[in-house]
Amino acid sequence: MTMRTPILILTFILLAGATNDAQQNDFYEITRLPFTTDRFDEFAPAFYDDGIVFTTNRRMGVIVTRTTDEGENLFNIYKTSRRRSGRWENPGLLDRRLKSNYHDGPVSFSPDGSTIFFTRNISGSSRETSRLGIFMADYSGGRWANIRPFPYNSGNYNLAHPTISSDGRTLYFASDMTGGYGGMDIYASTLQAYSWSPPVNLGSEVNSAGDEVFPYVHQGGRLYFSSNRTNGENLDLYYTFRREENWQTPVKMPAPFNSEYDDFGFIADRELSSGYFSSNREGTDNIYSFISTFPLFTDCEPIREEQLCFVFYEQRAANVDTTTLYLLWDMGDGTRIRGLEAEHCFSELGTYTVRLDVIDVITGEAQSNVAFYHFTTPRVEQPYINAPDTVFAGQQISIDASDTYLRNFDIDEFYWELGDGTKTAGEIINHTYDYPGTYEITLGVISDPNSPLGYRRSCVYKEIVVLENQ
């Protein structure tokens, strides 16, 4: 058989550009996995059992390694596991049945691990350019079997980098099929009964005139992908999510996943606190692990506005003769209200001197005082986010937590997640959103672990709308 030169979509990555990069690095620990090499490429990890599966062109002496017509090693699908000691086992082929005479990988697994989706070159005639396609196989009897092509593979365009949703029903992938917005776009196909629906382009909100590749759908709903939309060269990592059935403006990931090189193949655990990604920042493509040291805040509630409107009623004034007298409330902020009860909204939090007088209808003079007391507007016990509701892209804003009110809470630090991938700390911060969209600002507060009041944490969130700067 004549070997045909396969097309390999270049190994891309996830980059980022956000403010406070130095502090971003403080919240992550990055480690290159020990089994990666300086000679070969290892990239695009996928969670599998107690380890990962990845794509590599490494050579192993006990395995016959085929090459392309240009003498390049073929990419194959490997696996490795992590022992209880924390040490990684030596990688090996996931399954020889998944090894072909062409490039194989990257991969994605169904939620129950019974189906694998993987990229492979489509064989063609010697005069045709070999395209990339998506294939599937089922795990049965301790092996992968029933290898079959995705129904929309074609010799006219590429389909690559599959990732399956957490419910196992939506397959996302990259393709340069006609009708897209640039080179490679991200598409989705849904499993309906026993067949896959025709691919649907995710649209111009996600795709650009450049390349969008290596999608990864996180179980929390975010869709991560790489794109060279910024400079047309290095690929940066972005994520997007759906709100009311619409894909939101992609957010560029911050450092330290980002580098001046290509970074890609991002995966993460449910809490986004640990995971893996690929990068060629040290020459060849290697896999790195990351662990977030940023405190995890869960079940955050939307920020509640302070209550400033109240109804005042004084029972002792119920028997006042209203034929010759009337009741007058002085709210302590310059507002006066006639009547047995007073409905009033204060303009701000504070303590007000409220009094209720009996006034002579004829003379207008106070005949007696029914009530006189100092009224303090009650505070909502919560961390508080002071931030504008609307801002323009490229405009620096100040965001602060100075109005936080938490009783019996010895605050140690304020932590911010700004919705565009930026994480930072401090009571008052400055930030600039680069792209229009709706972002969710989360403020988390932790107490001093050595406080006699005990260790506590609390969090809230608020949405901010970023408009395009005209």
Q: What string of DSSP letters covers 349-397? A: SSEEEEEEEEEETTT--EEEEEEEEEEEPPPP-B---B--SEEETT-EE
Looking at residues 91-112, what average pLDDT do you find?
Answer: 94
Q: Which fold has domain 380-467?
A: Immunoglobulin-like (2.60.40)
Distance CA 103, CA 41 (A): 13
Note the pLDDT of residue 65.
52
Note the pLDDT of residue 14.
28
Q: What angle do CA 279, 161, 281 make, to 5 degrees?
A: 5
Q: Fold match between 21-292 and 380-467?
A: no
The token duo for 337 is: 């209200």
Across 116-125, 260-269, 397-406, 459-468, least confident range: 116-125
Distance CA 25, CA 22 (A): 5
Q: Does domain 309-376 have CATH number 3.90.1720.10?
A: no
Q: Between 234 and 254, name the one with better pLDDT.
A: 234
Note the pLDDT of residue 20.
46
Q: Which fold has domain 21-292?
A: Neuraminidase (2.120.10)
- For the chain, the structural domain boundaries read 21-292, 309-376, 380-467
pLDDT at 308 over 80: yes
Pick from 26, 22, 17, 20: nearest CA to 429: 20
Looking at residues 237-263, what average pLDDT do you find?
Answer: 85
The predicted model scores a pTM of 0.71
pLDDT at 323 over 80: no
Pick from 174, 170, 134: nearest CA to 150: 134
Note the pLDDT of residue 272.
85
Note the pLDDT of residue 291.
92
| Encoded amino acid at 378, one letter | P
Looking at residues 109-118, what average pLDDT do you find?
Answer: 96
The answer to whether 439 and 464 are in contact (CB under 8 A) is: yes
Note the pLDDT of residue 129.
61
